[in-house]
Structure 1
Amino acid sequence: MSHLKTFFFLFYVTGLLFGSLVFATSFESDYVVSNYPEGVYVPGLIFDKPFDKAGFRILYHHRNISTDSLSIVIALQNLSLKEETIFVRAGLGGSTLDVVFAGHKAAQTFLAQYANPNGVKSISLPPLSSTYVLSHLIKPDQTSSGIVQLYRENHYNLRVKMGIVDNRYPHLSSFSDIASGINQYRVAHFQDILREEIVRFDSVDQIMALEVGGKPYLVDSSLNYELTGNYGVLHQFNIKLSNSLSKPTQFNFYLAPKKDNAVDRAVFLINGKLTEVGVSFNKDNEVSMQKFYSVFLKSKEKKEITFITLPQSGCYYPVDVIIRAMEGFL
């Protein structure tokens, strides 16, 4: 049975072998999702929130429905009298006409940094100052998607701001002169988590399904909003395979849509190696599954595999990962 754990994130720790990768480091982290409205057309402040936990993660997915180029801008503000160091990982997709590809590319580049010892960027933020974290272009009638993880070294008085900026007026940085987004934009705010599940599968079982993005969904109680599909939530499957048959057996893994008229993609870290999955669909009672991984076990052999993934924007989650055992296949 799956359970929820405090979100784990890869980051560098200054002063402790700086440059070495730390895996499964636990800390409290906020998680903010910006997708309402999905279509944006004028500049505005999306949110201005305190950065008062160790981590702050953002998922955004927006389409530019105006005739001018816009940018999604994320900024940090240090209101304290002490310098702060922030570590950043960002996965960006777009600007592109392909909504599915935008979300896929954001997920792919974000997860790729988990296996990259040089994937973390550090930002030094002087006292009483502000700085950009990123500026992400959205061309007219195109979509941009992003997943951004911030980690703070200390606990000074910081704020995180995100807004839409008109590229004709790039001087806007603190959003102090942009119209309030209270009525224009709405974000959902959650406690970030890692959903971890231990899976045991024997060849005699032949087939099983693992759900990615399923219940329980994250809930923003202040908005009475449920994040159906758990978009951006990290899932880790610790899979224990065993072949109790007398013959060698191949274990195949497939991505399978669950919703009608769904178009889905996925990306996985499989034992630390990045694997991208092509398009799967469920349309007109026809389901197309994508095989993305296989492992071969001898008779009585056992093997453990770790999958890390996350539901990506622009798709129709939840989806299933189907495991099928096929006796004697190579």
Structure 2
Amino acid sequence: MRRITQLLAVLAATLAAAGPAAARSARLEVRSERTGSRHAGVVVVNRQVAARVLTANGDLGPVDRARLAVERLQAALDKGLGARHVRALADGRRWVVAIGDQTLLYATRLEARHHRSSPAGLAGRWAASFRRLLALPPVALSHRVIVIPLGEKRALAVTGYARDWERVEAVDSEEVAGAQLVGGRLVLTARRPGRTTATVSADGHTARCEVIVRKRAGRLALLSDAEVTGSPAPPDLSSAAATVAVRRFLDVEPGASVRIVSAPRVARSLRADQAVVVRALVEISGAGYLPVRGEVSVRVRNREVAFRSMAHLLYSNVPERIRKPGTLYIGHLDSSGPVRLFYHHVNNMAQPVALSVSLVNTGPDPVTLQIVPGFAAPDLDAVQAGRKAGQSFFPRMLRNAGEIYTLPGRSTVPLAVHRLAVEETGSGIADVRLLEPAGGRCALRVSAEPWSASGWPRLAADHLDAWRHVLPRPASAAELADSEPSDYVFPGPTKTVHAEYTIGKPWTWIRLGDGPIQGVRGNLRLDGNYGVLYRINVKVHNPTETRRTVEVAFEAGAGPASGLFNIGGRLVDVPSAYPREERSLARFDVEPGAVRTIQIETVPLGGSAYPAALIVR
């Protein structure tokens, strides 16, 4: 005890030398609380609990101890002492909370046990609480600056030792935010984007908070929908369609953008009419807006769209070499039947160009389309550029695997934007079908512009799936007016070939690219039949008495060529072949006396030299 007295005396002398520095009055109260079978004494400082006393000490019960602490604290405050003069002091195993030379509370061992603490820990906690509450100003708000989303409310805690809060006022503009005191809280309502100041006054003192009202950059949809097609629809296509739905159908403010933090992922193929719900983590942000981050859900459904043969082939290859900027091809699309776009162009300009493929909805109403894409990266080797386009397109075409896309009226969206370096080739194939409405009409445009002036947002640049990265924009007057179709339109781009081979007889040769299909205008014909689907049925007869093996081979004819073949449900890729070179594609066993039908599908690819041939032997 002597040690504590000495410490308090030293502290009091130090404080006396310093003088009464900026001490404040405080609102002090004593309350009695029932805790189980006990009465606790509660010391309240500036409307908040500073200490809760649970046990007696000597002749003083908990409430008496609390009352004595308040009396001593008030006396110290009247002398000019304040928050910074409160300390927790130790003497052996005894701890006290003191202000100046006056003890407020003893943290006894029994008291500490009831608080599940130690005497030192309890004294330190009580002292910190007294310091914090004594330091409160007469009136204070929990925020000096607060940002509130438009249309929402936020509540600020009003604290301090002032006895009455007289009024609240929005100083700058009540049009920006309204303010109201409700039960010790200042409730702010955001009404219009802007800034204002809310002020609380009490006993001649004021507290202010700057209020900033902003719009959120967007709103997270509870559930969006995406549709795909295919027998079945592959997971990568379904995942991509879900990503498009996330970007397109969130409610985003002008100038804000969507960042997909974690993309939606469909883990398995979807059968016809099967649906799955996937989730994505997104962030919407923009200058002057409040960012929004959260999870959204997308329901992906495989819409059953019956396969239909192509009505027309839109052939963009004349001129093959790009020597000046401009429109290279325009083709029309309506609900009468699907079209296949085939393009293959070489950059002959002295600078990089943007080879763009875009859809333009020339009508006033939205149209719903099926897109079966087959776009590939450019290549200096024209044969390989065409082959890569075929690798992208051919497997999707076989399964009718595509995306359902809705294009608003009088708007346009890029399907692919290739960056072609000098002498690079851009090649692609895509099946596009207008599903609804019956009177809808679109244009497919292929154009070349200097890379620095592609006409598309940066997000679309150099994307082979550009429609997944940017939103449709209003079509320009030129895009809507520039609708005269190009001459190179070929109806019915499908050839069905029937052939037979008898084992032991001469080989059967099937020519690919011969018999060019005719155009809808004039005497145009498509030499090589590029982009035309060949469906070949070969009947193989085995008149012998033993099982025999039959081979199907590919032979280049007019020049270097690549090829992709679906032979009996198996995809076969021929990277390249030169004239008179043969590449074995498949072998089949035919039982004695049996007839076996071999089904083959293929499409002559851009950059390859057709005619070429299949050999059955």
Q: 1:128 to 1:280 in 2, by over 3 A?
A: closer
Q: Which runs of 5+ in 1 are unaligned?
A: 1-9, 325-330
Aligned residue in 1 for 2:578: 281
Deviation sequence 1:110-130 (CA, Å, 0-9, x none): 11113457x312211122322
Q: Which runs of 5+ in 2 are unaligned?
A: 1-227, 232-271, 274-300, 457-472
Q: Distance in 2 between matches of 1:229 and 1:205?
A: 29
The 5 A counterparts of 1:47-126 are: 47-52=329-334, 53-116=336-399, 119-126=401-408
Supply the AA of the counterpart residue of 1:188.
Y
1:202 pairs with 2:502: yes
SS in 1 for 2:370: strand
Q: CA deviation at 1:235?
A: 0.3
Aligned residue in 1 for 2:566: 269
Q: 1:175 to 1:311 in 2, by over 3 A?
A: farther
On the 8 A contact 2:500/2:538 being kept in 1, the answer is yes
SS in 1 for 2:550: strand
Q: Distance in 2 between matches of 1:315 and 1:291?
A: 18
SS in 2 for 1:111: helix
Q: 1:105 to 1:78 in 2, by over 3 A?
A: same
On the 8 A contact 2:309/2:494 being kept in 1, the answer is no
Aligned residue in 1 for 2:553: 254
1:30 pairs with 2:312: yes
Deviation sequence 1:192-228 (CA, Å, 0-9, x none): 321112223221324110111111x122353532211
Match of 1:141 among 419, 423, 446: 423
Match of 1:152 among 431, 434, 438: 434
Aligned residue in 1 for 2:323: 41
Aligned residue in 1 for 2:453: 169
Q: CA deviation at 1:22?
A: 5.8
Deviation sequence 1:152-206 (CA, Å, 0-9, x none): 112313222221132212335857669x999xx9651111321112223221324
Q: CA deviation at 1:75?
A: 1.9
Supply the AA of the counterpart residue of 1:301.
A
Q: CA deviation at 1:60?
A: 0.8
Q: CA deviation at 1:150?
A: 0.5
Q: Distance in 2 between matches of 1:22 and 1:197?
A: 26
Q: 1:265 to 1:21 in 2, by over 3 A?
A: farther
Q: Stretches of 4+ moved more than 6 A in 1?
A: none
Instruction: Using structure 1 for the length normalisation, give the TM-score.
Output: 0.81
On the 8 A contact 1:278/1:290 being kept in 2, the answer is no
Q: CA deviation at 1:83?
A: 2.0
On the 8 A contact 1:45/1:181 being kept in 2, the answer is no
Aligned residue in 1 for 2:603: 310
Q: Distance in 2 between matches of 1:263 and 1:28?
A: 28
Identity of aligned residues (%): 20
Q: Indicate the structure with greater strand content.
A: 1
Aligned residue in 1 for 2:121: none
Q: Distance in 2 between matches of 1:253 and 1:27?
A: 26
Supply the AA of the counterpart residue of 1:274.
L
SS in 1 for 2:490: strand
Supply the AA of the counterpart residue of 2:359.
L
Q: Indicate the structure with greater helix content.
A: 2
Q: Distance in 2 between matches of 1:87 and 1:40?
A: 29
Number of matched pairs: 301
Which stretch of the first structure deviates more once superposed, 46-55 or 202-211? 46-55
On the 8 A contact 2:374/2:390 being kept in 1, the answer is yes
Q: Distance in 1 between matches of 2:418 and 2:476?
A: 16
Q: CA deviation at 1:102?
A: 0.9
On the 8 A contact 2:321/2:345 being kept in 1, the answer is yes
Q: 1:109 to 1:218 in 2, by over 3 A?
A: same
Supply the AA of the counterpart residue of 2:391.
Q
On the 8 A contact 1:35/1:187 being kept in 2, the answer is no
1:19 pairs with 2:302: yes
